[in-house]
């Protein structure tokens, strides 16, 4: 498998708190990695560094063979790192369809959006993305009226429109009713397989991790305490005590 993302010696301190402690990490194309860890372990901080929202105190991040450590979030998106958020950032007064349109416009040059031919292609693409994430019937609903599960799906759909090679999802099932978590993840993972997108997702629900991850990395106090196949990591002594509370 091809190596897609690497970090070396990635370190970040917030005052006295070490949010990332010399993290060496590799992710290959095609993996589905679940990131687990207690509240405050440094999961979101790691994502913020990889996506350029926070700069590390030291260390290096490479994506697809290029050093992206110093790049801005937008430049990193253009290289192929997509992201969805713990709390989706949606415009509540916009419809679902308008939100996807905006993402398509952000990818294309603004001028091409005024070209009738392009508009037609965009319409087909938007229809396809909406049906892929199961939101076709909600296309004309306002984002502000969506239940949390649909907000999460829309956030993922907007990230997919930017054609990422890697999609990093921060807690895609948080705030979603227990019986909706599995269908939500099944929909997302099917869409990612269809688009051949590598996945990394933060998840607290052990059942979801076991069902959808091919690999698990456990964060404890700013470091990766265990990394490997789900069964191995979930049975690790430190992970069981500190992360799973067994
Ligand atoms: N901007 C910031 N300024 C100061 N401290 C911060 C900042 N962001 C995060 N931290 C601290 O860094 C540590 C890691 O936080 P982070 O948000 O990465 O944890 P997390 O693993 O994502 O937790 P959760 O499961 O609650 O989302 C915590 O101690 C947090 O308080
Ligand atoms: Mg977090």
Mutation test residue for ligand 1: of 21, 45, 244, the one with most atoms within 8 Å of CB: 45
CB 17 near ligand 1, within 6 Å: yes
- The protein residue with its alpha carbon nearest to ligand 1, atom 31, reads 40
Chain segment 8-48, per-residue pLDDT in tens: 999 999 998 999 999 999 999 999 999 999 999 999 999 99
91 lines ligand 1 (CB under 6 A): no
Annotated domain spans of the chain:
3-243
Predicted confidence band of residue 111 (pLDDT cuts 50, 70, 90) = low
Q: Is 42 exposed, middle or buried (0-12, 13-18, 19+ CB in 10 A)?
A: buried
d(CA 167, CA 199): 5
Question: Of 23-37, 85-99, 143-157, 174-188, which range is least confident?
Answer: 85-99
Predicted pLDDT of residue 225: 96
Residues 157 and 121: their CA atoms lie apart, in Å, by: 17
User: Does 43 sit in the ligand 1 pocket, CB within 6 Å?
Assistant: yes
Our mutation pick for probing the ligand 1 site, out of 12, 17, 175, 202, counting the most ligand atoms within 8 A of Cβ, is 17
* Average confidence (pLDDT) over 178-184: 94
Q: What is the edge-to-edge ordering of all strands in the sheet holding 17-28?
A: 17-28, 3-14, 58-63, 66-67
Evaluate if residue 110 carries a pLDDT over 90: no
CA angle 204, 31, 23 (to 5 degrees): 65
Separation of CA 14 and ligand 1 centre (Å): 9
| CB neighbour burial string for 189-227, b if at least 16 within 10 angstroms, e if fewer | bebbeeeebbbbbbbbbeebbeebbebbbbbbebbbbbb
Window from 82-86, 121-125, 197-201, 228-232 with minimum mean pLDDT: 121-125
Predicted TM-score (pTM) of this structure:
0.93
Instruction: Pick 3-243's CATH classification: 3.40.50.300, 3.40.50.850, 3.60.70.12, 3.40.30.10.
Output: 3.40.50.300
Ligand 1, atom 3: closest residue by C-alpha: 14
Please answer whether residues 83 and 103 qualify as being in contact, where contact means their C-beta atoms are separated by less than 8 angstroms: no
Q: Is the pLDDT of residue 1 over 60?
A: no
Helix (H, G, I), strand (E, B) or coil at 13: strand
- Assess whether the C-beta atom of 87 lies below 6 angstroms from ligand 1: no
Compute the average pLDDT of residues 218-245: 95
Give 75's pLDDT tier (boundaries 50, 70, 90). very high
Number of helices followed by number of strands (H, E) in the chain: 9, 10
């Amino acid at each position: 498998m091809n190596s897609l993302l690497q970090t070396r010696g990635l370190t970040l301190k917030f005052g006295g708190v070490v949010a990332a402690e010399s993290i060496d990490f590799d992710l290959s194309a095609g993996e589905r990695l679940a990131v687990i860890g207690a509240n405050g372990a440094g999961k979101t901080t790691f994502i913020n560094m990889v996506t350029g929202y926070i700069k590390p105190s030291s260390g290096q991040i490479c994506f697809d063979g290029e050093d992206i450590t110093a790049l801005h979030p937008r430049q990193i998106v253009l290289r192929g790192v997509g992201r969805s958020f713990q709390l989706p950032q949606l415009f509540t007064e916009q419809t679902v369809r308008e939100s996807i349109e905006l993402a398509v416009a952000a990818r294309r040059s603004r001028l091409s959006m005024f070209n009738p031919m392009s508009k037609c292609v965009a319409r087909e693409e938007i229809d396809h993305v909406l049906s892929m994430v199961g939101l076709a019937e909600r296309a004309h609903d306002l984002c502000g009226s969506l239940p949390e599960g649909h907000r999460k799906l829309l956030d993922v759909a907007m990230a997919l429109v930017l054609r990422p090679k890697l999609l990093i999802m921060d807690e895609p099932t948080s705030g979603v009713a227990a019986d909706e978590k599995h269908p939500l993840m099944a929909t997302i993972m099917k869409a990612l397989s269809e688009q051949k997108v590598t996945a990394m997702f933060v998840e607290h629900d052990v059942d979801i991790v076991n069902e959808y991850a091919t690999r698990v990395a456990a964060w404890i106090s700013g470091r990766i305490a265990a990394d490997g196949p789900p069964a191995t990591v979930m049975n690790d002594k430190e992970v069981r005590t500190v992360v799973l509370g067994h």
